[in-house]
A and B are shown apart, each in its own frame.
Chain A
Amino acid sequence: MISMRNVHKSFGSQKVLDDLCLDIPEGKITAIIGPSGEGKSVLLKHLIGLLQPDSGQVDVDGESIIGLRRSQLNRIREKFGMLFQNVALFDSMTCFENVAFPLQEKTKLSKDEIRRRVLSALEDVGLKNIESKFPDELSGGMKKRVGLARAVVLNPKIILFDEPTTGLDPIIKRAIHQLIKDTHEKFGFTAVIVSHEIPDIFDVAQNVAMLYRGKILQHGSPSEIKNSNHPAVRQFISGSLDGPIHMI
């Protein structure tokens, strides 16, 4: 389980996380929803130690990840895989090399075994015959799928998805969501998805938490969130301009 307790984070005078508390259950898909610019990606980066809180506690499987040395943090990071908002594929490497990279660096598998695993991971995300292509030769949806293959190839315990479907057409969007569900069923990892995709995300996630003004406003099952009485949650789900959330 991952837990965040009383986490504060500011960038200069801008307060992003304000006494935030959140528990992410093991083996389930948890979605973090909320308006743009509210710090959802910042929250995600705290879970893997890419950002350190100004104060508060972040625990992964009961172990604090605050103030650790790089080697200690790396030991915890080995439990994680991450799909970035902009995918963050290594642009000087081919798709094959991108997916093979974690296997080459973190395991002692033979070249043949690495090849087998990479091709199988690419096939699992519905990609064939793209091994020798570079990331900039792929469409947005294909890049996301290569990123997903790279994130799952080491079979991590926890996978973080930072807006995995942003900028994709509705069909690819649904395909990516289905892919996340299928790979989750297959591998049983804990997933945290930062997403704006309302209502699609309710079909993917088993838990939903809404982040607003640096705090988790409500956390519960998709049906609890859909039937929420909280005015900000209701406004965000309905996409209405009237309500406590003022974007313009």
Chain B
Amino acid sequence: MGNCVVQALGRVTIGTVRDLGKTGWFLLYSFYMIVRRPGSPVQILKQMRFIGTKSLFVIVLTAAFTGMVLGLQGYYTLAKFGSEGMLGTAVALSLIRELGPVLAALMVTGRAGSAITAEIGIMRISEQIDALETMALDPFKYLVTPKFIAAMISLPLLCAIFDVVGIYGGWLVGVKLLGVNPGAYFYEMEKSVVWRDVYSGVVKSFSFGVIIAWIGCYKGYYAGHGAEGVSRATTESVVLTSVLILVWDYFLTSVLL
């Protein structure tokens, strides 16, 4: 009985260490390939259109409502201290430093991360990846590096759009509905938001782009057998990416604060 438990524990530990190694190697090899063979510009642009442009609608929609909620909640809290004029600062700092990068990344994970895993997973189970290998071509150059580059460029841009739309969402509620002075909304914001806040948001969204491409491609590349394997890989990809984004966000915040 004791032997069985030790054996099972050993199996799980070895499996986990092996998986972690494989995942880490995948990331390192992806960066190596980005430097050596980044893929064709056409492929990169195609992926930017898929990851970036096609995510615009959901980003704008989420950003508008996030900003509006921040406007409402912020006004309610600040009014208790008679500081409604600080609403612009509260909305902008919350969005630029935290909510913009995180929510934009979570939206892209749900829309594009899952699709990346499904696309590569289907190519894996239908032997299209093997076909690339038999042609003496590195599948990373065609399937992985264009997605990495596209995600690393698209995420900071989507995050910037999220921030701007969110700020105007807050303005709509705060200024137009609740009567905050429009001059104070933007003046206080301009006074309080410094380059370091923007830099922190850019660094976060860039690294979230890496996480989305990394986990999305990895889970698809090593998808199991059949439709069930791809379905499981897609679910795992979304869950793991979302968790990693939140955990990594904490570490980055503590470093960049």
CA distance A217 to B136 in the complex (A): 32
**B128 on the interface (CB 8 Å rule)?**
yes
Interface string of A80-105 (1 = CB under 8 A from B): 11101110111100000000011001
Assess whether A74 is in contact with B126, with CB atoms less than 8 Å apart: no
| Interface check A205, CB cutoff 8 A | no
Give the residues in chain A near B136, CB-CB below 8 Å: 74-75, 77-78, 106
Contacts of B137 in A (CB 8 A): 74, 105-106
Interface of A, secondary structure class, is mixed
Chain B residues with CB under 8 Å of chain A are: 122, 126-128, 130-131, 133-138
B128 touching A77 by the CB < 8 A rule?
A: no
Contacts of B134 on A, CB cut-off 8 Å?
A: 48, 50, 77, 80-82, 160
CA separation between A191 and B221, bound complex, in Å?
30
Q: Is the CB of B128 within 8 A of A88?
A: yes
Residues 98-139 of A, flagged 1 when their CB comes within 8 A of B and 0 if not, give: 000110011000000000000000000000000000000000
Closest to A102 in B: B135
Tell me if B130 and A50 are in contact (CB < 8 A): yes
- CB of B54, distance to nearest CB on chain A (Å): 16
6 contacts between A and B (CB under 8 A): A70-B138, A74-B138, A82-B131, A86-B126, A88-B127, A105-B137
Q: Which residue of B lies closest to A98 (CB)?
A: B131
A86 to B125, CA, bound (A): 10
Cα distance A197–B127 in the bound complex, in angstroms: 23
Q: Least Cβ distance of A248 to chain B in Å? A: 24
A161: min CB distance to chain B, Å = 12
Interface size on A, residues (CB 8 A): 23
Contact A86 B127 (CB under 8 A): yes
Which residue in chain A gives the minimum CB-CB distance to B138?
A70
Which residue of chain A has the shortest Cβ distance to B127 in the bound complex? A88
* Interchain CB contact under 8 A, A90 and B135: no
Q: Is the CB of A77 within 8 A of B135?
A: yes
Q: Which of B128, B133, B138 is close to A90, meaning CB atoms less than 8 Å apart? A: B128
A45 to chain B, nearest CB (A): 8
A residues apposed to B, CB below 8 Å: 45, 48, 50, 70, 74-75, 77-78, 80-82, 84-86, 88-91, 101-102, 105-106, 160
Chain B residue contacts of A82, Cβ below 8 A: 131, 134
In the bound complex, how far is the Cα of B128 from the Cα of A77, in angstroms?
A: 16
Contacts of A106 in B (CB 8 A): 135-137
Assembly CA distance A84 to B135 (angstroms): 12
- Cβ of B133: which chain A residues have Cβ within 8 Å of it? 50, 77
Could you tell me the distance in whole angstroms from the C-beta of A76 to the nearest C-beta in chain B? 8
In the complex the two chains form, what is the Cα distance from A88 to B135 in whole Å? 12
- Report the Cα distance A101→B40, complex, angstroms: 13
Q: Which residues of B contact A70 (CB under 8 A)?
A: 138
Who on chain A is nearest to B128 by CB?
A: A88
State whether A91 touches B135 (Cβ < 8 A): no
- A85: chain B residues at CB < 8 Å are 127
